[in-house]
Amino acid sequence: MQEFKRSAILVAKVLKTSDAQVAVLEAAGLNGVCTDQQLTVLKAFGDTTAYLKAENFIFDLSELLPDDVGVIVKAAAHRALASNKRVTLSELNFGGVYAVQIAISPFITDDADRQLLVLFTTNKKKTKDRSVIKQTGVEQLTRQHLASLELELTEAKDNLEVAYEAINSSNDNIKSFNEELQSANEEMHSANEELQSVNEELQTVNRQQQQTNTELTESNDDLNNYFRSNTNGQLFVDHDLILKRYSPGAVKHINLRESDIGRPLAHITTNIKLETLIADIQNVMLNEQTITREAESSDGKIYQVMTMPYVRQNTNNTDGAIISFHDITELKKLLAALDISNKGLTDSIAAIKLSREQVSQSLEKEKQLNALKSRFVSMASHEFKTPLTAIQLSAELIGKIAVDMDHPIVKKYTETIKNAAKNLTNILNDFLSLELLETGRINPILSEFDLVKFAADITEDMQYLAKREQQISYIHSGRGRLVTLNPSLLKNCIINLISNAIKYSGPDSRIEFSTQITGNNLTIIIRDNGIGIPKEDQKHLFEAFFRAHNTGNIPGTGLGLNIVTRYTALMNGKIKFKSQVNKGTTFRITFPVKPL
């Protein structure tokens, strides 16, 4: 009997801490069930087949026990819950040889739910008769159960009477509250009329606000379009010298990032070397006068930096400054070359003077026509070709004269003029190609040609332009060699990609060029082991005027890959690339073709 009590206490403690320890209880040799307050079985442990009926889908403990035992257990469970103490039923007969002992213990779970722990133990003492329990015991439990139920009914009745009195009192309060509510409703009605009048006024104000918002949106769109069309770099700082906005051209020219917005301009590192910039901005805001200076970037480019006040229209007060960066590197080089030529070549003074005037005029036109890029590109591309041709012809003539006169300095200067004119011509050709693409004036005419001979000729030509010990290899694979594309556009694409490979790879490097025809596709691959493209720059690589941050002072306009991409698209092709910094870059162009 004492061992049975200790087991019941141990099981109750275990169930309070964790239901997962049922396995521990079974290992201890204990048999029983855990139920809720209505005697619904929640879990069973040990071997209960000797005590419970084998009934499926029945979880009521009183129905799982023999009928007369079920009545006794139900009454004992009620007493255990009421007293919050363990109740033990001894010498119960379940129809076997030995008597059965049942202990019912109430406990509270971790979730604050009251449950019952019911343990079954078989007494090794044999039963004296076949009856379950003496009649006097049943009657006593029944009387106690009925007395407990009568007590609960009495308490419930008393609670109902108290609740009824509280309801009557609440009705009086509700009646008084209704009268106050009616009075408040009348005041609310009056206030609602006033609110309706105010609402009409607010609607009028709202319409005016919407009109203002629409105008502000349109103004903001105009400003965004202006910034997007401006190829030069422009910054806007407020009166505290905080960067508020910049044009897309500023990313190319001075190496800004979107994260720089909201930072003090003095804390932003750019590649423009202008120590007086902060002082210039402060003077502009103070004196409301524009300041123009020239500055050099870390990659050797020369910029004209113009700082002017930002004036609020509504107050006519200066509330910041606008800083514009104009790349005049090529113009400065050309002017310097022309100045040097003037000193030793008296026969070319007229032509060089004319070129300088045209360049100066072009610079002034560039300042005035930033918002009209397409028109500027078209004009500049055509207007510059004539003087550049004249400069090149003059330089060649002067070079021949210098050879005859055995004048090495003059020859050196003429070579400088020719190289500068050639670089400027290439830049203008890129701008002209871009302008033709943007205006839709390129309509590629497809023709059939021998791809292998075409690619081999390009390889031979580009090898002459390669750096010292650079090797360009070409290989073709696949069945067939005839394709139908636009040879001019395709040649431009291949030359541009191989030129980049030469430019961004060192001496003694190898450039691999291959073509492959498989099925209905032509694949062109150009691979180098040059400086590579930083990962953060790769998403902008095909944008116009964009150059990677690691290009340094290597010359370029940032237009080549944009033109290649658009030429490829005109021939229904696709271009992809893979690159790693200091490991190289691979470009892959794919065209749909019909091999023969």
**From 162-166, 169-173, 417-421, 521-525, the region with the lowest mean pLDDT:** 417-421
Coil/strand/helix, residue 468:
coil
Instruction: For Cα atoms 343, 346, 349, give the angle at the middle one, nearest 5 degrees.
Output: 90
**Interatomic CA distance for residues 66 and 94, integer angstroms:** 7
pLDDT greater at residue 172 or residue 436 = 172
CA–CA distance from 557 to each of 230, 243, 251, 333, 563 (Å)?
A: 16, 26, 13, 16, 11
pLDDT tier, 14 (very low <50, low <70, confident <90, very high otherwise): very low
Residue 382, Cβ neighbours under 10 Å: how many?
11
Which residue, among 35, 26, 19, has the nearest Cα to 111 in the 3D structure?
19
**Interatomic CA distance for residues 477 and 423, integer angstroms:** 36
Q: Are 107 and 36 in contact (CB under 8 A)?
A: no
Output the pLDDT for position 473: 95
pLDDT greater at residue 559 or residue 587 = 587
Average pLDDT over residues 282-311: 86
Rg (CA), the chain: 48
- Residue bearing tokens 């044999």: 126
For the chain, domain boundaries? 19-122, 160-217, 229-327, 444-592
Output the pLDDT for position 377: 56
Which residue, among 487, 513, 489, has the nearest Cα to 500 in the 3D structure?
513
82-113 burial string, b = 16+ CB within 10 Å, else e? eeeebbbbebbbbeeebbbbbbbbbbeeeeee
| Position 127 pLDDT exceeds 70 | no
Q: Which of 7-11, 236-240, 251-255, 435-439 has the highest mean pLDDT?
A: 236-240
Output the pLDDT for position 349: 64
| Position 110 pLDDT exceeds 60 | yes
CA-CA-CA-CA torsion sign (299, 300, 303, 309): positive
Coil/strand/helix, residue 548:
coil
Quickly name the fold that domain 19-122 has: Beta-Lactamase (3.30.450)
**Interatomic CA distance for residues 527 and 576, integer angstroms:** 12
**From 181-185, 377-381, 418-422, the region with the lowest mean pLDDT:** 377-381
| Position 290 pLDDT exceeds 80 | yes
- Name all contacts of 57-61 with Cβ < 8 Å and 24+ positions apart: 61/33, 61/35, 61/118
Same fold, 229-327 and 444-592: no
Pick the CATH number of 444-592 from 3.90.180.10, 3.30.565.10, 3.40.50.2300, 3.30.70.20: 3.30.565.10
pLDDT greater at residue 333 or residue 137 = 333
| Position 78 pLDDT exceeds 90 | no
Output the pLDDT for position 126: 60
Coil/strand/helix, residue 257:
coil
Average pLDDT over residues 364-386: 58
| Position 452 pLDDT exceeds 90 | yes
**From 160-174, 472-486, 563-577, the region with the lowest mean pLDDT:** 160-174
Average pLDDT over residues 35-63: 86
Output the pLDDT for position 428: 66
Average pLDDT over residues 165-194: 83
pLDDT tier, 464 (very low <50, low <70, confident <90, very high otherwise): confident
**From 277-281, 435-439, 453-457, 505-509, the region with the lowest mean pLDDT:** 435-439
Output the pLDDT for position 363: 67
Tokens of 264: 């003090």
pLDDT in tens, 567-593: 999 999 999 999 999 999 999 999 998
**Interatomic CA distance for residues 539 and 548, integer angstroms:** 10
**Interatomic CA distance for residues 65 and 95, integer angstroms:** 11
What single-letter DSSP state applies at residue 106? E
| Position 388 pLDDT exceeds 80 | no
pLDDT tier, 10 (very low <50, low <70, confident <90, very high otherwise): very low
Pick the CATH number of 229-327 from 3.40.50.2000, 3.30.565.10, 3.30.450.20, 3.10.350.10: 3.30.450.20
Q: Which helix (H) or strand (E) holds 494?
A: helix 487-503
Q: Are 55 and 63 in contact (CB under 8 A)?
A: yes
What single-letter DSSP state applies at residue 272? E
Q: Is 354 exposed, middle or buried (0-12, 13-18, 19+ CB in 10 A)?
A: middle
| Position 220 pLDDT exceeds 90 | no
Coil/strand/helix, residue 18:
coil
**From 133-142, 226-235, 261-270, 484-493, the region with the lowest mean pLDDT:** 133-142
- For the chain, give the mean pLDDT: 80
Residue 45, Cβ neighbours under 10 Å: how many?
21
| Position 40 pLDDT exceeds 80 | yes
**Interatomic CA distance for residues 41 and 14, integer angstroms:** 18
pLDDT greater at residue 117 or residue 556 = 117
Residue 134, Cβ neighbours under 10 Å: how many?
11
| Position 556 pLDDT exceeds 50 | yes
Output the pLDDT for position 273: 78
What share of the chain in percent tops pLDDT 70? Answer: 77
Coil/strand/helix, residue 296:
strand
Output the pLDDT for position 533: 94
Strand partners, 309: 321
Output the pLDDT for position 440: 65
Which residue, among 118, 116, 111, 120, has the nearest Cα to 18 in the 3D structure?
111
| Position 47 pLDDT exceeds 80 | yes
Question: In this structure, are strands 114-126 and 233-238 parallel, antiparallel, or unpaired?
Answer: unpaired
Coil/strand/helix, residue 303:
strand
Average pLDDT over residues 9-13: 47
| Position 1 pLDDT exceeds 80 | no
Average pLDDT over residues 408-428: 69
Look up the pTM and report it: 0.36
Q: Where are the beta strands (DSSP E) in 470-580?
A: 471-478, 482-485, 510-518, 521-528, 574-580
Which residue, among 49, 33, 37, has the nearest Cα to 81 in the 3D structure?
37
